[in-house]
Amino acid sequence: MTGLATTFGSGAMTNSINEIEQAEVIIVSGSNTTEAHPQVARRIFDALDNGAKLIVIDPRRTLLAEFAHIHLDIKGGTDIPLLNGMMRVILDENLVDDLFIEMRTENYHALRDMLFRLDLNKIADITGVALEKISAAAQLYARAQKAVICYCLGITQHVCGTGNVETIANLAMMAGHVEKEFTGVDPLRGQNNVQGACDMGALPGVFPSYQAVNNPEHREKFERAWGVELSPVPGLTLMHMTHGGPKSPVRGMFIMGENPVLSEPKANKVDQTLKELEFLAVSDIFLSETAQLAHVVFPAASFAEKTGTFTNSERRVQMVRQAIPPIGSCRPDCEIIMSISERLGYPMDYESTAEIMEEIALLAPTYGGMHHDRLESSWGLQWPCWDREHPGTPFLHKYYFSRGLGQFIPTTHQSPGELPDDDYPLVLNTGMVYHQYRTATMTRNSVTLNRECNEAVLEVNPQDAASYNIRTDDMVKLSSRRGSITLKAQVTEQVGAGSVYTTFHFTEAPINELTVDTKDPKSKCPEFKVCAVKMEKITT
């Protein structure tokens, strides 16, 4: 989460999930919360029962948007101008939190100068949202005492994902809505342990706890602890590893529990790259599309068959406890890694995962007080938790930002990587549905979840449906410049005219074969959300 890290110094949710129910104003942006984060949605509904006001920024009329006091139904990819417009209104209406800006932030003048140059009418044009609505939303947010902004995939998956997040941070700081309980900026993380995987340094540029590999001091610390010399050069990102094709420098890969063949944009290329490898080893619980390409497949134990910890969106580190022994001859990933490491002359002899956590606590300052015995006897602890006595941190940035002063970073509109034109007149959006989860290697193997929703459908607006003569359940062919897929149509007002929407769960309709891979230059986030397509009815 590059954007928040540059402005606040930390890329995690600033509040706890429970705090959301006490907020007075909630902005939800680019998040299909009811489907992707049910418990957050539940807190939002509780807040509404308590009289909170809800503002939803989403091109689609999501379930949550139905409950919104203000639904800002922007054109896809125009989040930055919308948020900038809101900030301009806050400026014009004199609702800026001057004291907060003075004491806690820097670079405000650059932002203000940029905002003064904006033309609000033009913003209404670009975003497709009436100025009155933008103004009402801005005032509602700025006047509140306790206000939170939640955002998710929708925001970070654009070309300008980093810019979007920075813009959200600007808005929150300008209104002084950061440092308090019930108030903040909350990126909702998709998978159960995305936060933990980042915290643990499963990233090319950082050791655990975001200590940079190219910082000599950090490197020395890890060299001493691990007893070997370490490379100062940041590594390749996922996109570079899986999209290189035959020219990629990567000749062999080890993949633990991921299915990039299905989850990456332009899946074709990933498929190709992985097939070209001299060696591919995959460990997973099911024979995923990626595992099918491997030279070696390890059967991993599921979460019910091992012990360890997950870190949720609100930075809460919690125990995962073994309920049953591994089925068949499955082994936990820890054991698999240790066995290979031993064969390569670097034995790692941990008696238990608790012992691994002791090492983490020693090396990762924010996890300094995380010990399994403490986590066992509580509902987990929220980082930063500096030492054994520290009670954990429910909300961040109380007296100062992680980076010291919060930094305003003015951002301007970038148009999405691929705009609709005469040949490909529709905008394709992708997302997830409630009953399925990511590439569905787990959920699709669950009978009940499959019964509820077992098929990718293409949502089409009634207007477009009429002009293409398409009805619900008709089969359509959807093509982009990169490929085409066939799937069933569903006519619904959930999508706006001129756009279509589908999910990325299903192998039969691997939507990522259509999507673009223009990347956000800063966060290297593949752009899933916007790409131009055409639609044809298949007549049988």
Partner 1 sequence: MKDVLTTCAYCGCGCGLYLHVENGKVTGSMASRNHPVSHHNLCVKGWHIHEFIHNSSRLTQPLMRKNGKLVPVSWDEALDFTAENLRRIRDNTNCQGLGVLASAKCTNEENYLLQKFTRTVLKTNNIDHCARL
Binding interface with ligand SF4 (CB under 6 A): 38-39
Applying CB under 8 A, among 30, 184, 332, 416 the residue interacting with partner 1 is 332
Rounded Cα–Cα distance for residues 184 and 22 (Å): 12
Q: Which does 28 bind (CB under 5 to 8 A by kind): ligand SF4, partner 1, none?
A: none
Q: Which does 330 bind (CB under 5 to 8 A by kind): partner 1, ligand SF4, none?
A: partner 1
Site string for partner 1, 103-142 (x = CB under 8 A): ----------------------------------------
Using CB under 8 A, which residues numbered 7 to 36 contact partner 1?
16-18, 36
Q: Residue 196 or residue 410: which is nearer to partner 1 going by CB?
A: 196
213 binds partner 1 (CB under 8 A): yes
521 binds partner 1 (CB under 8 A): no
Closest CA to 243 of 198, 194, 276: 276
3-state SS assignment for residue 256: strand
The residue number whose beta carbon is nearest to ligand SF4 equals 38
Rounded Cα–Cα distance for residues 392 and 440 (Å): 33
Q: Which amino acid is at 1?
A: M
Q: Phi first, then psi: give them for residue 296, nearest 5 degrees.
A: -135, 135
CB of 203 to partner 1, least distance (A): 6
Q: What is the DSSP letter of 538?
A: P
State which H helix or E strand residue 85 sits in. Answer: helix 79-92
Q: Residue 120 or residue 348: which is nearer to partner 1 going by CB?
A: 348
Question: Bridge partners of 381?
Answer: 317
Q: In 10 A of CB 9, how many CB atoms?
A: 18
CB of 38 to ligand SF4, least distance (A): 4
Applying CB under 8 A, among 190, 365, 483, 498 the residue interacting with partner 1 is 190
Please report where in the chains the tokens 């999501």 appear, as a residue. Answer: 62
Rounded Cα–Cα distance for residues 325 and 352 (Å): 15
Rounded Cα–Cα distance for residues 336 and 329 (Å): 12
Question: Bridge partners of 372?
Answer: none
Alpha-helical segments (H) within 233-279: 238-243, 260-263, 267-276
Applying CB under 8 A, among 344, 422, 423, 469 the residue interacting with partner 1 is 344
Applying CB under 8 A, among 8, 108, 151, 310 the residue interacting with partner 1 is 310
Q: Which amino acid is at 177?
A: H
Q: In 10 A of CB 389, how many CB atoms?
A: 7
226 binds partner 1 (CB under 8 A): yes
Using CB under 8 A, which residues numbered 350 to 369 contact partner 1?
350, 353, 356-357, 359-360
Q: Residue 138 or residue 213: which is nearer to partner 1 going by CB?
A: 213
234 binds partner 1 (CB under 8 A): yes
Closest CA to 200 of 172, 222, 175, 231: 222
Which pairing describes strands 531-537 and 457-460: parallel, antiparallel, or unpaired?
Answer: unpaired
384 binds partner 1 (CB under 8 A): no
CB of 183 to partner 1, least distance (A): 19
Q: Residue 238 or residue 405: which is nearer to partner 1 going by CB?
A: 238
150 binds partner 1 (CB under 8 A): no
434 binds partner 1 (CB under 8 A): yes
